[in-house]
Amino acid sequence: MQTSNPLLSDWKDRFQLPPFDLIKDHHFDEAFDEAFLQLEKAINKISEQSDAPSFSNTIEALERSDRLMEKVAGVFANLASSNSNPALEALQRELAPKWAKVDSDIKLNRKLFIRIDTLHKNRMNLSLSSEQMRVLELYHLSFVRSGAKLKDSEQQKLKKILQRLAELGTLFTQNLLKDERDWSLIVTEKDLIGCPQFIKDAASEAAKERGLDGYIITLSRSLIVPFLQFSPRRDLRQKAFSAWELRGANPGKTNNLDIVQETLTLRQERATLLGHNTFSEFKLETEMARKPEKVTELLMAVWEPAKLMANRDAKILTEMMQADGFHEKFLPSDWRYYSEKRRASEHDLNETELKPYFQLDQMIKASFHCAKKLFNLDFHQIDAPMYHPDVRVWEVTRENKHIAIFIGDYFARPSKRSGAWCSRFRGQSSMDKIQRPITVNVCNFAKAPKGQKCLLNFDDARTLFHEFGHALHSMLSNVKYAYISGTSVARDFVELPSQLYEHWLSVPSVLEKFAIHAETNKAIPKDLLEKLLKAENYDQGFSTVEYVSSALVDLAFHNETLTKDPMQKQKEVLDRIKMPAEITMRHATPHFAHIFSGDGYSSGYYSYMWSEVMDADAFEAFNEINDPFSLDIAHSLEKNIYSAGGSLPADELYMNFRGSMPKVEALLKGRGLLNI
Are residue 141 and residue 189 in the same domain, yes or no?
Answer: no
d(C-alpha 124, C-alpha 258), whole Å: 48
| Closest listed residue to residue 584, CA positions, set 600, 599, 567 | 567
Domain coverage including residue 196: 183-245
d(C-alpha 463, C-alpha 363), whole Å: 11
Share of the chain above pLDDT 70, in %: 100
Domain assignment of residue 580, yes or no = no
With bands split at pLDDT 50, 70 and 90, how would you rate the model's confidence at 666?
confident
What does the DSSP assignment read for 381-417?
A: EE----SSTT-EEEEEEETTEEEEEEEEEEE--TTS-
Residue 410 — φ and ψ, nearest 5°?
A: -100, -20
d(C-alpha 404, C-alpha 368), whole Å: 13
Q: What angle do CA 242, 218, 167 make, to 5 degrees?
A: 80
| Residue 346 burial class via C-beta count within 10 angstroms: exposed 0-12, middle 13-18, buried 19 and up | exposed
Are residue 116 and residue 194 in the same domain, yes or no?
Answer: no
- Provide CB contacts within 8 A for 118, sequence distance 6+: 53
pLDDT the model gives residue 416: 92
d(C-alpha 280, C-alpha 557), whole Å: 9
For residue range 20-77, list pLDDT tens digits in order.
999 999 999 999 999 999 999 999 999 999 999 999 999 999 999 999 999 999 999 9
- Domain end marker among 225, 245, 265: 245
Are residue 119 and residue 64 in the same domain, yes or no?
Answer: yes
| Closest listed residue to residue 341, CA positions, set 320, 325, 364 | 320
For residue range 191-244, list pLDDT tens digits in order.
999 999 999 999 999 999 999 999 999 999 889 999 999 999 999 999 999 999
Q: What angle do CA 81, 84, 86 make, to 5 degrees?
A: 135
Domain assignment of residue 55, yes or no = yes
For residue range 149-203, list pLDDT tens digits in order.
999 999 999 999 999 999 999 999 999 999 999 999 999 999 999 999 999 999 9
- Provide CB contacts within 8 A for 95, sequence distance 6+: 32, 76
Are residue 54 and residue 98 in the same domain, yes or no?
Answer: yes
Q: Which residues are catalytic?
A: 467
Domain assignment of residue 379, yes or no = no
pLDDT the model gives residue 2: 63
Q: What angle do CA 97, 569, 81 make, to 5 degrees?
A: 35
Domain assignment of residue 508, yes or no = no
Are residue 47 and residue 111 in the same domain, yes or no?
Answer: yes
Are residue 128 and residue 44 in the same domain, yes or no?
Answer: yes
For residue range 254-298, list pLDDT tens digits in order.
999 999 999 999 999 999 999 999 999 999 999 999 999 999 999
For 310, the enclosing helix (H) or strand (E) is helix 292-323
For residue range 617-637, list pLDDT tens digits in order.
999 999 999 999 999 999 999
Domain assignment of residue 657, yes or no = no
- Domain end marker among 149, 169, 202: 149
CATH number, domain containing residue 61? 1.20.1050.40
Are residue 61 and residue 123 in the same domain, yes or no?
Answer: yes
| Closest listed residue to residue 301, CA positions, set 601, 671, 604 | 671
pLDDT the model gives residue 352: 86
Q: What angle do CA 260, 262, 264 make, to 5 degrees?
A: 70
What does the DSSP assignment read for 288-309?
A: SS-SHHHHHHHHHHHHHHHHHH
Domain assignment of residue 589, yes or no = no
Mean of all residue pLDDT scores within the chain: 96
3-class SS of residue 421: strand
Total domains in the fold of the chain: 2
Domain assignment of residue 600, yes or no = no
Are residue 45 and residue 111 in the same domain, yes or no?
Answer: yes
Domain assignment of residue 159, yes or no = no
- Domain end marker among 197, 223, 245: 245
Are residue 111 and residue 222 in the same domain, yes or no?
Answer: no
Are residue 189 and residue 119 in the same domain, yes or no?
Answer: no
pLDDT the model gives residue 349: 87
d(C-alpha 499, C-alpha 522), whole Å: 29
d(C-alpha 9, C-alpha 183), whole Å: 40
Are residue 145 and residue 199 in the same domain, yes or no?
Answer: no
For residue range 383-411, list pLDDT tens digits in order.
999 999 999 999 999 999 999 999 999 99
d(C-alpha 660, C-alpha 424), whole Å: 32
pLDDT the model gives residue 670: 87
Q: What is the pTM of this model?
A: 0.93
d(C-alpha 232, C-alpha 154), whole Å: 59
Residue 395 — φ and ψ, nearest 5°?
A: -90, 135
* Region of residue 380 (left: phi > 0; alpha: psi -120 to 50; beta: else): beta
Are residue 190 and residue 140 in the same domain, yes or no?
Answer: no
